[in-house]
Chain A
């Protein structure tokens, strides 16, 4: 596609419910990243994928968070039993190549999903 697409753009959910956030990266991009950004804060790294594999899951805040990527393309971030502190903007990015310790080629970010837990 033309850019990184995230859906939904906004999600309001009740505390305790599960939510799924979707990211469609740029076609051909092997690396995909998820971030969380609370209001006025920086980018909190959650997880990255190299193809369908997630070499480093240490950024996930708790075991309620999980992510997968299929076909080297679409990725889904799932938050189970949502809590109010999960409210934030969840950003996805993709890049053509990422080499651990060397860095990434230019990364492109999606518009984000604004999650509100009430």
Chain B
């Protein structure tokens, strides 16, 4: 299947700082999905990006899909403690990998 690398694996920020996680694929993706899993919870769908260069916003979250449809990013502005969790991207085959674990210090 398509190989996707998600970086970083861990990120610890001070509340109010920004946070970005990246998904990079070696091949062109049809689309990409992002999920969030809170500690002790189950993954929850955040968004799907389909078009080349697409940018979508959800409040403080900004999702981008690269022009070549080989990479994607999730950016959180002014993190809050409610943002804590692991963020996963899906590379079209529902295999998520390790994700990026975000911790936020109040």
Stretch of A21-29, A42-50, A63-71, A78-86 that contacts chain B: A42-50
Q: CB-defined interface of B18-47 with A at 8 Å, one 1/0 digit per residue?
A: 000000000001110101000000111100
Q: Is B57 an interface residue (CB 8 A)?
A: no
Query: Which one of B35, B48, B93, B99 has the greatest number of beta carbons of chain A within 10 Å?
Result: B93
Q: Which residues of B from 57 to 88 have beta carbons under 8 Å from A?
A: 86, 88
- Tally inter-chain residue pairs, CB-CB below 8 A: 61
Instruction: Give the contacting residue for A42; candidates B44, B92, B93, B97; CB below 8 A.
Output: B97
B31→A112 contact, CB < 8 A: no
Which of B33, B86, B95, B98 sits near A106, CB closer than 8 Å?
B33
Instruction: Knowing A91-B42, A106-B45, A111-B42 are in contact, say whether A101-B99 is a contact too (CB < 8 A).
Output: no
- B88 to A91, Cβ gap below 8 A? no
Distance, CA A91 to CA B94, complexed state (A): 13
A61 to B90 alpha-carbon distance, docked (Å)? 21
Residues in A with CB closer than 8 Å to B30 are 101-103
Nearest residue (CB) in B for A98 is B94
CB pair B94–A104 under 8 Å, yes or no, is yes
- A41, A42, A98, A109: the one contacting B42 at CB < 8 Å is A109
Instruction: Let me know if B33 and A42 touch, CB within 8 A.
Output: no
Q: Of the candidates B31, B45, B94, which one forms a contact with A108 in the assembled complex, judged by CB atoms under 8 Å apart?
A: B45
Binding site for A on B (CB under 8 A): 29-31, 33, 35, 42-45, 48, 86, 88, 90, 92-99
Interfacial residues, chain A to chain B (CB-CB below 8 A) = 33, 35, 41-43, 45, 48, 59, 91, 93, 95, 98, 100-104, 106-112
> Can you name 28 A-B pairs with beta carbons within 8 Å?
A41-B98, A42-B97, A42-B98, A42-B99, A43-B88, A43-B95, A45-B94, A45-B96, A59-B95, A91-B43, A93-B43, A98-B94, A100-B93, A101-B30, A101-B92, A102-B30, A103-B31, A103-B33, A103-B90, A103-B92, A103-B93, A104-B94, A106-B33, A106-B45, A106-B48, A107-B35, A107-B45, A109-B42
